[in-house]
Amino acid sequence: MSQAMPPNLQGGLAHHRRLESYARYFVLETMASRPGTQESPEAGQKEQFRNDMSRTQWPGCTAGLGLRKEHYAHILGGGKVRTNWFEAITENYMDSRGRPRAILRKVREQYPLALHGVSLSIASADSGLPSQNYLRRWKELIQEIQPFLVSDHLCWTRTAETQSHDLLPVCYDNAWLQLVCENVDRVQNFLARPIALENVSSYISWKSPDSEMREWEFLNEVCHRTGCGLLLDINNVCVNSHNHGFAPQEFVDSIDPSVVWQYHVAGHSLLKSLRFDTHGQTMQQEVRDLFYRARNTIGALPVLLERDQDIPDFSDLEGELVTLEDSNLPTQLPDLSPPSKFYAAVPPLLPQSRQAIAGKQKIFLAALFSGRAPSSLTETLRGAGNPSLTEVQSLDVYRQSILARLEDALEELCAPLRSFPQYEDWIRSYIEAIRPTTHNLSDFGHRLAGRLHETVASEIARACFLHQRFFHGQRPGGGWIADPGGMRNVALFALSEEAERIWTSSLLEKEEGVERDLPEPNLAPSRSEEPESQDAGNRRALLLYRSGRSVNDPVRIRILLPFEAGVLIRLLRRQSLEQTMEWLADAFPEVSESQVQDLFHFLVANGLYRP
């Protein structure tokens, strides 16, 4: 027995842009017939942490903006900036040693920064989550940037096998409370600092066999038991009040003021029955009024204006931002001392309870990716909205959001493939077959090239992924590039002429750094056993490199002449300059001395060769 996606949801939800064609392929189906007391930290430790906090420039009750790539040039290029601080998305930088990380360091030199994550998955029940790799890279970024606040969301995003790249809701009962508290304790002890958790918007809710709490009661309990803070998202309160039927004023009035460390405000959209936390428009008056109420009842704290879609000019955002500030309000630094163990009064979650939650999460994610929701799942859920959607319709909200996000990630990675008529079929087929597994959304397309049977398209997909890795300071195999310059930190590869033309033309449209030095007819290679000279008339060698001159320099691409590729290969193999020149004279006798000088001038000028 199956149920089609309801008409008011077909064609895509405002939460994300999505293809209308997905409605024909990705429809959820029901399968009814199928089956203490807290220990206080030492005084010296607390004092040391407060000293550290003073160095991170706590911004008081001022307003900040999300750091977005659309505004890098304005912020670092000398444009007028009234914003007091910025908030950076953790996952945009923790897996980068390239330009994004360098820009983040540059911004941090001038402004206080907060780090806000989206993939911690603090409510995942699998015991290996969050992973040690994620925590280690997160901690490295924290130590490097020294943010005044570190935060993520009170939700789950993944199981051990699958990453949804969406913020999925928790159940507000004691078992989930203990699960979240255990995970928060492990994370805070690893980081040796407290974190803040944000209340998330949701489009479905869980039923509990035990007594349920209200969302604000759950948030208060997590903070009281773990010493973590609350990042109170005012817009999400407004969204959830509509979707789940409660008074937003009651939510704000019921939050313990002592646990709130920061505010978020943003705009939302309304589509039929649901409000969506889209961050794509100015905040509604309802959000603004609720923020003022929170500031009066809870206190003045840093407030962030979020904008993630249809991002306007920087000056326009600042115009909205300044209305949130009131310099006359007093502010107090929250107690951000390193957390202590808290389980003296809270028994640990029983293994069978953790396993039961893990099983529910696995079934929930399987339904979102497969498009089939068993009745054993829907019976544990409540639809959301006013009027309320069914459980299947509410699940489909998340499904469409995930599919759209994956589609957008592939389009950003492999934009040149859009010139092929089969593009949408390729993307749809890939999303149907491959599930994301890591917190890094940009890695989702790493297997796309191997699944494309069109040779030129496969070459382009490989080049796109290599370029992305290099952009983030990674070698093709994933290791970090230690030095932005230097011969060992370049990437040399070949593409067919057609693949090169399509790929580099796409980069030129994006104003990326591309040097189109095309081979001249009289420089065709001599006969040689070298692989770089075979079929050179049909293939072109390309060099990815960084000049290392400026934080804003993009990855550059130089299309090499055949003799240039041969020289670089030998230098990369650590052959001596004398050996390389002997080979060049034998393989390319027609190359002039001035051409060789031009090549080495380019290498030296960009720090790629040091005589």
Select the more confidently predicted residue: 568 or 611: 568
The model's pLDDT over 311-339, given as tens digits with 9 standing for 90+, comes to 999 999 999 998 888 655 565 556 666 55
Which runs of E-coded beta strand occur in 50-209? Answer: 63-66, 85-89, 113-116, 149-153, 156-158, 163-168, 196-198, 204-206
- In eight-state DSSP terms, residue 161 is S
Residue 61 φ/ψ region, left for φ over 0, alpha for ψ in the -120 to 50 degree band, beta for the rest:
alpha
Confidence (pLDDT) at 473? 80
Confidence (pLDDT) at 525? 40
Is 100's pLDDT higher than 50? yes
Residue 331 φ/ψ region, left for φ over 0, alpha for ψ in the -120 to 50 degree band, beta for the rest:
beta
- Per the CB < 8 A criterion, the answer to whether 304 and 197 are in contact is no
Work out the pLDDT band at 479, boundaries 50, 70, 90.
low
Select the more confidently predicted residue: 267 or 48: 267
Q: Which two tokens stand for residue 107?
A: 């911004």
pTM of the model: 0.86
Confidence (pLDDT) at 301? 94
CA 152/CA 96 separation, integer angstroms: 19
Phi, psi of 66 (to 5 degrees): -70, 135
The model's pLDDT over 169-214, given as tens digits with 9 standing for 90+, comes to 999 999 999 999 999 999 999 999 999 999 999 999 999 988 789 9
What lies within 8 Å, CB to CB, of 448 at 6+ separation is 410, 413, 414, 426, 430, 461, 465
Confidence (pLDDT) at 340? 55
Give the long-range contacts of residues 518-526, CB within 8 A, separation 24 or more: 518/559, 519/561, 519/562, 520/561, 522/590, 523/561, 523/562, 523/563, 523/588, 523/590, 523/591, 524/562, 525/562, 525/563, 525/566, 525/587, 525/588, 526/586, 526/587, 526/588, 526/589
The model's pLDDT over 418-443, given as tens digits with 9 standing for 90+, comes to 999 999 999 999 999 999 999 999 99
Q: Which two tokens stand for residue 216?
A: 């604000």
> Which residues of the chain does CATH 3.20.20.150 include?
45-324
The model's pLDDT over 13-59, given as tens digits with 9 standing for 90+, comes to 333 333 232 222 333 433 333 333 344 444 444 444 444 444 457 88
Burial 263-294 (b: 16+ CB within 10 A, else e): bbbbbbbebebbbbbbbbebbbebbbebbeeb
Task: Quote the radius of gyration of the chain (alpha carbons, Å).
Answer: 27
The model's pLDDT over 224-260, given as tens digits with 9 standing for 90+, comes to 999 999 999 999 999 999 999 999 999 999 999 999 9
What SS3 class is residue 168?
A: strand
| C-alpha closest to that of 134 among 155, 147, 117 | 117
CA 120/CA 130 separation, integer angstroms: 6
Confidence (pLDDT) at 478? 57
The model's pLDDT over 560-571, given as tens digits with 9 standing for 90+, comes to 999 999 999 999
CA 472/CA 334 separation, integer angstroms: 35
Tell whether the torsion through CA atoms of 374, 380, 385 and 390 is positive or negative. positive
- Per the CB < 8 A criterion, the answer to whether 580 and 131 are in contact is no
Confidence (pLDDT) at 10? 33
Give the mean pLDDT of 405-420.
96
Give the mean pLDDT of 398-426.
97
What's the fold here for domain 45-324?
Answer: TIM Barrel (3.20.20)
Q: Which two tokens stand for residue 380?
A: 């544990």
Select the more confidently predicted residue: 450 or 6: 450
Angle (CA) 114 444 69, round 5°: 35
- In eight-state DSSP terms, residue 41 is P
Confidence (pLDDT) at 510? 73
The model's pLDDT over 493-539, given as tens digits with 9 standing for 90+, comes to 999 999 999 999 988 877 655 555 444 433 444 334 343 443 444 89
Is 545's pLDDT higher than 90? no
Give the mean pLDDT of 85-112.
94
- Per the CB < 8 A criterion, the answer to whether 195 and 185 are in contact is no
Give the mean pLDDT of 163-173.
98
Q: How many CB atoms lie within 10 A of CB 399?
A: 24
